[in-house]
Amino acid sequence: MPLIFVPTPLGNLRDITLRALDTLREARLVVAEDTRVARKLLHALGIDAPEIWSYREQNAAAVTHGILERARTQLVAVTSDAGMPGISDPGTELVNAAREANVAVEVLPGPSAAFGVAVLSGFPLVRWAFEGFPERSQGARRRQFETALRRGTTTLWYESPQRIASTLADLAAVAPEARVFLVREYTKLHEQQISGTPSDVAAKLADPVRGEIAFAVAPADVEAAPARVTDDEIDALLAAGQRVGDVAKELAKQGRGERNELYARVSARRHSALRLAQGDTEARGDAEGSG
């Protein structure tokens, strides 16, 4: 029997396909990110819930073998909380494990927020790249946007409502005139579509932001990233009398690195300079004493 990946509706239940319904009805085991979400979906679709197992990043190693053993003799349906399983979740690892174990795998076509946002954006799609979720830290996020924009293709992203404001601010810092198309709550009752520069889009989002978010960024020109700060530059700023925290803060504003990392580097350079100065003082004292 195959292991069948079943896309689930992003919001509107009528987006479920007939094949997906057939598979969920026939499955003896449903594998889901969150069993509670899966039970609610099956109930809403009028399907009696079979056995449901949780499969997520935290427990994937422990449950993969059992899932594949069941798939050898029974139909096993793999779902995500919404959309295509395997996109931005550990489903791809399950596919690879199934291949190695000679368990057949099928993937049903179905909804994807990334594809919907791509088409709605109107941006060039001869070539495009799905980037998934941006990095969590400011410096890494900005470098990620710089790299993506330099490819010269439309890029597609997901983001959490808690981080979208910071993410758009970092995109604005890298490419303030970039064209962004964002969709919040795609296919749901309160769907919102916003287009404009990163700052324009951020200003049109409610505070606090709620719901699932996907956005597209059109190809844009980006300035060369500031060079990584050197030890000589740090030493010169310290020699000018600036405090460690002020140096780190100023360099971070210039995009020369992340503030916490810069603080550690500047602090280390200051301690090194103090040790060196102390050593010179002791050496001069020894020389004077011997004289």
Residue 255 one-letter amino acid: G
Q: Which pLDDT score is estimated for 230?
A: 81
- Is residue 196 classed exposed, middle or buried when 0-12, 13-18 and 19+ CB atoms within 10 A define those classes? middle
For residues 161-169, average pLDDT: 97
- At residue 259, does pLDDT exceed 70? yes
**pLDDT band of 49, cuts 50, 70, 90:** confident
Q: Is the predicted pLDDT of residue 257 greater than 80, yes or no?
A: no
pLDDT band at 155 (very low <50, low <70, confident <90, very high): very high
* Cα–Cα distance list, 70 to 56, 57, 84, 146 (Å): 17, 20, 22, 45
pLDDT for residue 280: 58
Of 173, 118, 110, 103, residue with least CA distance to 145: 173
pLDDT of residue 54: 94
- CA atoms of 47 and 35, how far apart (whole Å): 15
Please answer whether residues 83 and 7 qualify as being in contact, where contact means their C-beta atoms are separated by less than 8 angstroms.
yes
* CATH 3.40.1010.10 domain span(s) along the chain: 3-107
pLDDT band per the 50, 70, 90 thresholds, residue 3: very high
Any idea which residue has 């309160």 for tokens? 190
Is the pLDDT at 290 greater than 70? The verdict is: no
β partners of residue 196: 180
CA 191, CA 185: separation in Å to the nearest integer?
A: 5
- Is residue 84 scored above 80 in pLDDT? yes
Where do the H-state alpha helices sit in 196-258? 198-204, 231-239, 244-253
Report the C-alpha gap between 178 and 180 in whole angstroms: 6
pLDDT band, residue 226 (cuts 50/70/90): low
Q: In what order do the strands lie in the sheet with 154-159?
A: 128-132, 154-159, 213-217, 180-184, 192-196
Which tokens hold the place of 165? 């404001």
Average pLDDT, the chain: 89
Distance, in Å, from the CA atom of 80 to the CA atom of 89, rounded to the nearest integer, reads 8
pLDDT, position 289: 57
Query: Tens of pLDDT along 21-46?
Result: 999 999 999 999 999 999 999 999 99
Percent of residues, the chain, with pLDDT higher than 70:
92
Nearest to 273 by CA among 230, 246, 225, 239: 239
- For 3-107, which CATH superfamily applies? Tetrapyrrole methylase, N-terminal domain (3.40.1010.10)
- Classify 274 as helix, strand or coil: helix
Structure confidence at residue 1 (pLDDT): 75
- Say if strands 213-217 and 154-159 run parallel, antiparallel, or are unpaired: antiparallel
For domain 113-217, give its CATH number from 3.60.120.10, 3.40.50.920, 3.30.70.260, 3.30.950.10. Answer: 3.30.950.10
pLDDT above 90 as % of the chain:
66
Give the residue, 22 or 87, on which the prediction is more confident: 22
Domain ranges in the chain with CATH number 3.30.950.10: 113-217
pTM over 0.75: no
pLDDT, tens only, 99-146: 999 999 999 998 889 999 999 999 999 999 999 999 999 989 999 999
Q: What digits encode the pLDDT tens for the residues 169-210?
A: 999 999 999 999 999 999 999 999 999 999 999 999 999 999
Q: Is the peptide bond before 198 cis (omega within 30 degrees of 0)?
A: no
DSSP H or E segment with residue 130: strand 128-132
d(CA 108, CA 20): 7
